[in-house]
Amino acid sequence: MPDQLIFGMEVFLNGLMAGVLYALVALGFVLIYKASGIFNYAQGVMALFSALTLVGIMEGQIPFAHLINAIFGTELHHFGWHVPGILAIVLTMAVMVLLAICVQKFVFRHLVGQEPIILFMATIGLAYFLEGVGDLMWGSEIKKLDVGLPQGINLAIDETTFGWFGYGFFIDNLDIVATIIAALLVAVLVIFAQYTKQGRAMRAVADDHQAALSVGVSLNFIWVMVWSVAGFVALVAGIMWGTKSGVQFSLSLIALKALPVLMLGGFTSIPGAIVGGLIIGVGEKLFEFAIGPLVGGATENWFAYVLALIFLVFRPQGLFGEKIIERV
């Protein structure tokens, strides 16, 4: 029994850390949805694209090298230098800002006033476009990402802490650092959205585009800013997940983990994304620990979606979402 208690505590802490990362990914969706009413299906691919770009810049890889070599018969691969991690992150963020400007200028500026389903389909097209461009620019092989984050196993609670039990448990150093960074970023985003001039302008745009325009708020600036912030969130998520499991195209699937989080917390609520992420993270770990052995395991693959389905039946707007009543 004592060993199960200690292991249960380890599972709970790992669930909390996973939940913070889920909340971070979900925040990218919430920010864009609040400012433009667009459900950004491409958020996960943005994490993949940013991680691919970061690795490519750090290794001094020539963009589109495979394509250039195939067309001209050359053997170009690298510039011959490596870029330090911090500088590479700054350059990658500049790429994500440029991407935000291009997305606004060439895609969504022409879709203002369109039905939500049209905007959603546009983000699906954007997701596949970015995935293809990422493949052409940097290649499709699995890449190792190392920006200097501490890794390895850390003894979180040793045997002396619970000496009367004689047990301890271990937590990955990367999980600890990722949780701290994600928690700080979540706090900064909440403060930004609630207390800054730009954050208030973002919420004004979310409430009423025309009213925001009438008081001098620039829609183009707000949308570029929001997509840039979402790009930064995607970059941080890409670094965390890419460092842990390598930069590969399955990284884009982390967006699917954010969907149950959004359904629980509400699509328009930043606190909801945080609470939803923690519920999903802890819930799926504890459910796997307690119920998984009884049903053959692998419950983490479906627990979040079943929980989200239950919420959709009994509380469609989520825990913190706004209940919309339409009169016809």
Q: Would you kindly state where each structural domain of the chain is located, as residue ranges?
A: 3-314
For residues 225-248, average pLDDT: 89
Question: Residue 294 above 80 pLDDT?
Answer: yes
Cβ-contact 123, 38 below 8 angstroms: yes
**How many other C-beta atoms are found inside a 10 Å radius of the C-beta of residue 147?**
15
For residues 4-15, average pLDDT: 78
CATH of 3-314, one of 1.10.600, 3.40.50, 1.10.3470, 1.10.150: 1.10.3470
pLDDT of amino acid 161: 47
For 27, 47, 263, 320, the CA distances from 267, given in Å and listed in that order, are 9, 19, 7, 9
**CA angle (220, 96, 76) in 5-degree steps:** 140
For the CA atoms of 193, 194, 198, 203, the dihedral, rounded to the nearest 10 degrees, stands at 80
Cβ-contact 60, 77 below 8 angstroms: no
Report pTM.
0.86
| pLDDT tens, residue by residue, 171-207 | 778 878 888 888 888 888 888 878 888 888 887 777 6
3-state helix, strand, coil split of the chain in percent (to 5) is 70, 5, 25
Question: Residue 164 above 60 pLDDT?
Answer: no
Cβ-contact 149, 177 below 8 angstroms: yes
Place of tokens 């708020």: 217
